[in-house]
């Protein structure tokens, strides 16, 4: 009996020591996080006062924008269509490029583990660069206009799409694949008849989501000279025609809301 009490006593001591150590560690981590946040705040000149003090300036900008020059919208129709065209072709190119890449980047369809690793790294590189940066580089490479915008969106979206589909392929139900194998089907036949039907709904849903994102990106690509509504935005602003800038922003909002609504409707239909 006494030995049991002794054992419990020792266990309690150990538990207390463990608890105190945990409290100490957590306090330290919290302090460290706060310190890092404070450092970051100093570096970015974080201040509430500048927001308050800047209020008149903001009011001034909005005042000069208001009311939006809605007559300018007639001249925004072409750039709006161009924005949609950039997004459509950018997404489409990404879909085409992703088709082979996703197969190479999925563990269960890749021809070799080495290919898998190389393609995965390549896709991560593609994804890690923002569309705007691609556009900046491509504008200087292929010149101003919507085409570098298309390529910029295609590059980024390929990285995103191929990785997403590769992961879907890896999570496919193994049973039907095995059944097709047993029936003597070839590699490509298994992919087309066994894997594709399983991943299709989520892949189509993701392509629609990607299209939605591409439209948002396409609206800003014009800022670096890659066509579309962003180009109207930046040129009117540089010419201090703020009422026309406001009209451009209005058009961007309308376009994004429409894209959101359409892709939402289509996704609901598919799923």
Q: Please give the span between the terminal C-alpha atoms of the chain, in angstroms, as a whole number.
A: 65
Taking the C-alpha atoms of residue 271 and residue 173, their distance in angstroms, rounded to an integer, is: 18
Based on the shown chain and the rule CB under 8 A, indicate whether residue 184 belongs to the binding site for another protein.
yes
Of 85, 181, 202, 235, which one interacts with another protein (CB under 8 A)?
A: 181
Taking the C-alpha atoms of residue 169 and residue 72, their distance in angstroms, rounded to an integer, is: 48
Read off the tokens for 193. Answer: 């008849």
Based on the shown chain and the rule CB under 8 A, indicate whether residue 63 belongs to the binding site for another protein.
no
Taking the C-alpha atoms of residue 190 and residue 181, their distance in angstroms, rounded to an integer, is: 7
Nearer to another protein, 102 or 224 (CB): 102
Closest separation between CB of residue 187 and another protein, Å? 8
Which segment (11-19, 87-95, 129-137, 183-191) binds another protein by CB under 8 A? 183-191
Based on the shown chain and the rule CB under 8 A, indicate whether residue 103 belongs to the binding site for another protein.
no
Of 85, 108, 198, 267, which one interacts with another protein (CB under 8 A)?
A: 198
Taking the C-alpha atoms of residue 215 and residue 148, their distance in angstroms, rounded to an integer, is: 15
CB neighbour burial string for 81-99, b if at least 16 within 10 angstroms, e if fewer = ebbbbbbbbbbbbbbebbe
Closest separation between CB of residue 80 and another protein, Å? 37
Based on the shown chain and the rule CB under 8 A, indicate whether residue 205 belongs to the binding site for another protein.
no
| DSSP annotation of 74 | G
Closest separation between CB of residue 19 and another protein, Å? 39
Please enumerate in sequence order all residues whose Cβ is within 8 A of that of 211, keeping only pairs 6 or more positions apart, or say none. Answer: 87, 88, 91, 259, 263
CB atoms within 10 A of CB 24: 10
Which segment (29-37, 75-83, 163-171, 181-189) binds another protein by CB under 8 A? 181-189
Of 96, 192, 239, 254, which one interacts with another protein (CB under 8 A)?
A: 192
Read off the tokens for 100. Answer: 């082979």
Based on the shown chain and the rule CB under 8 A, indicate whether residue 32 belongs to the binding site for another protein.
no
Chain contacts with another protein (rule: CB under 8 A): 175-176, 178-186, 188-189, 192-194, 197-198, 200-201
């Amino acid at each position: 009996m006494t030995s049991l009490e002794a054992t419990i006593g020792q266990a309690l001591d150990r538990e207390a020591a463990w608890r105190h150590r945990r409290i100490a560690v957590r306090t330290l981590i919290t302090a460290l996080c706060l310190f890092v946040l404070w450092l970051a705040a100093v570096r970015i000149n974080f201040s509430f006062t500048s927001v308050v003090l800047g209020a008149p300036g903001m009011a001034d900008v909005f005042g000069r924008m208001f009311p939006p020059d809605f007559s300018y919208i007639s001249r925004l129709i072409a750039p709006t269509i161009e924005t949609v065209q950039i997004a459509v072709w950018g997404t489409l190119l990404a879909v085409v490029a992703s088709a082979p890449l996703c197969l190479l980047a999925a563990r269960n369809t890749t021809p070799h583990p080495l290919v898998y690793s190389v393609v995965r790294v390549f896709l991560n590189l593609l994804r890690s660069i923002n569309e705007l940066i691609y556009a900046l580089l491509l504008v200087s490479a292929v010149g101003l206009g919507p085409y570098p915008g298309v390529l910029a969106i295609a590059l980024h979206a390929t990285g995103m799409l191929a990785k997403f589909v590769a992961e879907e392929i890896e999570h496919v139900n193994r049973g039907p694949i095995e059944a097709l194998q047993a029936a003597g089907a070839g590699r490509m036949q298994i992919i087309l008849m066994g894997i594709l039907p399983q991943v299709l709904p989520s892949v189509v849903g993701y392509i629609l989501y990607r299209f939605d994102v591409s439209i948002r990106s396409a609206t800003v690509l014009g800022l670096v000279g890659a066509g579309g509504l962003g180009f109207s935005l930046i040129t009117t602003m540089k010419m201090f025609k703020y009422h026309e800038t406001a009209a451009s922003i209005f058009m961007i909002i309308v376009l994004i809301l429409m894209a959101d609504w359409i892709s939402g409707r289509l996704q609901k239909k598919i799923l």
